Structure 1
Amino acid sequence: MSQRRRSKTSPVIMIPGSSATVNRFNGLVNELNKNRRVKHSLLKVQVDTDGKLEYSGSINRNDREPIIVIGFENNHDGYSNIKKQAAWLDDAFYQLTNDYHFHKFKAFGHSNGGLVWTYWLEHYYSGYSSEIKMKRLMTLGSPYNFKESSIKMKTQMFSDFLKYKKRLPSDLVVYSLLGGKTYTSDGLVPEGSVLAAKYIFQNQVKSYTAINITGTDAQHSSLPQNKQVVQLIKQYLLDKPNDNAKLHLKIKDK
């Protein structure tokens, strides 16, 4: 416990979406490391279906803000899989906290990765929250109501997220990023499904902000490489934001 409290490490833990591997954010991490004197080190953890953890990369000894990517051997879509992935995430998270002794971290999830984080927060986080705090969560194109564009048509997953939302930590800061290839979707996920997050997080966490990503690379699969997304991560997710970044943001909700 004392070793954990003394730790100054505050990693960014990323989860890719369905069908993506632990290599999904290689380009994003390269962009985040550009022009940095001290680079974010990168550790990748794949959780196999039997719970075995496969590691690649490493965390530098003096890196206070490493990036950890957690992916799954079974990376298929669907609510039943998201629940399984949340359990596998918990296996990996428990081991990482024992190995690296951090007591605070930030979370990032692209597409279904954001759903996995949300399910984990509602069902697993309380087991750690007295010792370990998630400071900020950023989701990117996460379809909280799957393919439904209106909350009048609630999926089972969305209904369950609403049912357990009071379990969300009240001190958490949440950013929900949505792509704008068209006026109604990012080319794959309906805008209404991403914005459904506000019914889960609003009035439950410290703050919730939705930000619309437009222009080049605003379609769903390209969002992790989007330059505006990179700048938003620097400004809002990392502990040392890039104060010189000049962003023209369209705030959808607070």
Structure 2
Amino acid sequence: MSPIIMIPGSGADNNVLDGLISNVDKRYKEHHNVLKVTVNTDNSLTYSGHISTKDKNPYIVVGFENSQDGLENIKKQTTWFNTAFKDLQQKYHFKTFNAFGHSNGSLIWTYFLEDYFDNYHNVKINHLMTVGAPFNFAETSHDDKTEMLDQLIKNKNHIPKTMSYYSIAGTEQYSDDGIVPLSSVDAGKYIYQDQIKHYMFITLTGSNAEHSDMLTNSQFITLFHQFIIKSSEKLVKPVKK
């Protein structure tokens, strides 16, 4: 099994990505199981949904009881996500996976890769895609780096060098997506570019290019299917009889 593990943004629960999953399945006439995990503030886990033994590329969506914004909460959520990831890996024994993060979910993935992923010696992340990642929060200039961006740049050498990363930004007004400045998303290059196998920055404009609407953007759904779904299918080799 090579799952697609997804983290929504702040203020959202693990139902917020239902529309994306439904749209992808409908357009491409596919059906993948969906498992949802909520990490509670006491570190307990609440599971819903299921994964059948036949589904080699299920969706796993991890949300948090406390999904509030802010740097300290993002760090807490990263610790909670590590609790969920460890439990998932022990339950399902996957060796490879693809990842997706929306908004602050992108930051949780980055902190996780830098601070915790070294502990999983037998697990490989192949592709990460993020949408509207506020790597420099609301700053509009790369010269004004936030504490968080400085931290992520400092520890970037822990990010797996074999992975590919696709960062997608929306431009409602050609400078931001209505919430996150384009330059803040672009600041991810200081963390990932020249650090990993493949880095791609993609800008989408036009209808549904606003921060929350990006998940329903037709171009984004195409990219998500190409880089996250199809690549996951290639990771699972058929068992020889």
TM-score range, shorter chain: over 0.9
Structure 2 CA distance for aligned equivalents of residues 100 and 23 of structure 1:
22
1:64 is paired with a residue of what secondary structure? Answer: coil
2:228 to 230, 237, 241: 237
Aligned sequence identity (%): 46
Judge conservation of contact 1:145–1:154 (CA < 8 Å) in 2: yes
Q: Which runs of 5+ in 1 are unaligned?
A: 1-8, 243-254
Aligned: 1:199 with 2:190: yes
Judge conservation of contact 2:57–2:232 (CA < 8 Å) in 1: no
Aligned: 1:66 with 2:65: no
Structure 1 CA distance for aligned equivalents of residues 221 and 173 of structure 2:
21
1:31 is paired with a residue of what secondary structure? Answer: helix
2:81 to 89, 95, 113: 89
Determine the structure 2 residue equivalent to 1:111.
103
Deviations 1:202-223 (A, max 9, x none): 1111111000111111000111
1:120 to 112, 119, 129: 112
Judge conservation of contact 1:234–1:241 (CA < 8 Å) in 2: no
Deviation at 1:239, TM superposition (A): 3.2
Deviations 1:62-83 (A, max 9, x none): 1000000000011011111111
Judge conservation of contact 1:86–1:117 (CA < 8 Å) in 2: yes
Deviation at 1:38, TM superposition (A): 4.7
Structure 1 CA distance for aligned equivalents of residues 145 and 169 of structure 2:
19
Q: Amino acid of the residue matched to residue 21 of structure 2?
A: V
Listed as ranges, the matches of 1:1-254 within 5 Å are: 9-34=1-26, 36=28, 38-128=30-120, 130-240=121-231
Q: Which runs of 5+ in 2 are unaligned?
A: 234-241
Judge conservation of contact 2:39–2:80 (CA < 8 Å) in 1: yes
Stretch of structure 1 that moved more, 28-37 or 78-87: 28-37
Deviation at 1:240, TM superposition (A): 4.9
**Relative CO higher for 1 or 2, CA cutoff 8 Å, sep ≥ 6?**
2
RMSD over aligned CA atoms reads 1.3
**Distance verdict in 2 for CA 1:181–1:37, change over 3 Å:** closer
Judge conservation of contact 2:97–2:232 (CA < 8 Å) in 1: no
Deviation at 1:101, TM superposition (A): 0.7
1:239 is paired with a residue of what secondary structure? Answer: helix
Deviations 1:125-168 (A, max 9, x none): 0000x200000110100100000011211111000001101111
Structure 1 CA distance for aligned equivalents of residues 53 and 24 of structure 2:
19
Structure 2 CA distance for aligned equivalents of residues 241 and 44 of structure 1:
19
**Distance verdict in 2 for CA 1:182–1:121, change over 3 Å:** same
Q: Amino acid of the residue matched to residue 111 of structure 1?
A: S
Structure 2 CA distance for aligned equivalents of residues 139 and 23 of structure 1:
17
1:216 is paired with a residue of what secondary structure? Answer: coil
Structure 2 CA distance for aligned equivalents of residues 44 and 165 of structure 1:
29
Structure 2 CA distance for aligned equivalents of residues 80 and 153 of structure 1:
20
Deviation at 1:238, TM superposition (A): 1.6
2:230 is paired with a residue of what secondary structure? Answer: coil
Judge conservation of contact 1:51–1:91 (CA < 8 Å) in 2: yes
Displaced runs of 4 or more, over 6 A: none
Q: Amino acid of the residue matched to residue 183 of structure 1?
A: Y
